[in-house]
């Protein structure tokens, strides 16, 4: 590809990103379609065979929650790793205990919060803006990855987002944003139940729990951090359900 050709592709991509921020497009969702999306989200998140793969994406969003929360407080992100067993590790540095605690908190709630934002964007007719934001964030996030599994998850996610930005119709983008929002909401709740299980039944795995780590580093008991995760995730899930119910009422 020539330099001019690459420049034209880049300009076309950028125009599509900008168009996502300026255009609005609403799509009515019939009850069978919404039930189908809910069913697919449950199928992705509940059975182990599908969660094994979709859970990697949820873990990626979890770790990005840590990363961008760290950046919000001026911390420097050194790298991010994702394991095939859905483990994740973010390394960041900075001064002050608040930044470390803030970054440590926003892992588990991130999928549910992102899911709510996507569903809200769909309801407002701004799925294009959500897709443009997501495409840019995923591209920037590539610089954080430090292992092969993480790189593969990030590259695949970023590539799909760019393809949708360039070639998908507004209606198709709307359905993708809605479906991804619902799937992340369900996945976020599943991850919370898994974490609660670690604190109640599989305590041999406590050392890997964000709530346990936050409790050890801040002095605030782990159950309080767990309660904080629950409040944010449950609030996001209930608000998402309310928005979905409103779509059916229209």
pLDDT for the residue numbered 202: 83
pLDDT for the residue numbered 3: 55
pLDDT for the residue numbered 207: 83
| Mean pLDDT of each 10-residue bin along the chain, 250 residues long | 66 90 89 92 92 95 96 94 91 90 96 97 95 92 91 92 92 95 96 93 84 94 96 97 80
Between CA 160 and CA 171 the distance in angstroms is 16
Between CA 88 and CA 108 the distance in angstroms is 11
In this structure, the dihedral spanned by the alpha carbons of residues 22, 135, 192 and 88, taken in order and rounded to 10 degrees, is -160
Q: What is the DSSP string of 12-47?
A: HHHHHHHHHHH--------HHHHHHHHHHHHHHHSS
**Nearby residues of 222 by Cβ (< 8 Å), 6 or more positions away:** 199, 209, 211, 212, 214, 215, 216
Backbone angles phi, psi at 169, to 5 degrees: -75, 160
Query: What's the pTM value of the predicted model, to 2 decimals?
Result: 0.93
CB 80 within 8 A of CB 143: no
The full length of the chain comes to 250
**Nearby residues of 43 by Cβ (< 8 Å), 6 or more positions away:** 50
Between CA 92 and CA 112 the distance in angstroms is 23
pLDDT for the residue numbered 205: 82
pLDDT for the residue numbered 60: 95
Between CA 205 and CA 250 the distance in angstroms is 46
Owning domain of residue 119: 3-22+29-249
pLDDT for the residue numbered 249: 55
Count of Cβ atoms closer than 10 Å to residue 125 Cβ: 15
Tally of domains within the chain: 1
Residue in 15, 3, 61, 25 with CA at minimum distance from that of residue 190 = 61
């Amino acid at each position: 590809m020539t330099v001019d050709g690459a420049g034209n592709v880049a300009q076309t991509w950028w125009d599509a990103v900008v168009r996502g921020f300026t255009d609005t497009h609403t799509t009515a969702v019939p009850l069978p379609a919404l039930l189908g999306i809910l069913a697919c989200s449950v199928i992705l998140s509940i059975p182990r065979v599908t969660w094994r793969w979709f859970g990697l994406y949820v873990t990626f969003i979890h770790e990005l929650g840590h990363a961008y929360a760290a950046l919000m407080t001026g911390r420097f992100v050194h790298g991010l790793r994702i394991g095939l067993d859905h483990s994740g590790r973010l390394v960041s540095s900075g001064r002050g205990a608040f930044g470390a605690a803030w970054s440590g908190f926003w892992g588990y709630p991130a999928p549910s919060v992102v899911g709510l934002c996507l569903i809200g964007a769909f309801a407002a007719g701004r799925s294009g803006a959500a897709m443009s934001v997501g495409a840019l964030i995923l591209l920037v996030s590539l610089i954080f990855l430090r292992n092969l599994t993480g790189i593969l998850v990030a590259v695949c996610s970023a590539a799909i987002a760019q393809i949708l930005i360039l070639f998908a119709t507004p209606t198709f983008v709307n359905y993708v944003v809605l479906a991804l929002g619902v799937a992340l909401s369900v996945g976020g709740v599943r991850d919370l139940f898994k974490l609660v299980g670690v604190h109640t039944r599989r305590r041999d795995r406590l050392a890997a729990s964000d709530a346990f780590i936050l409790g050890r580093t801040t002095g605030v008991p782990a159950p309080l951090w767990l309660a904080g995760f629950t409040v944010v995730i449950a609030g996001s899930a209930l608000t998402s359900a309310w928005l979905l119910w409103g779509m059916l009422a229209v």
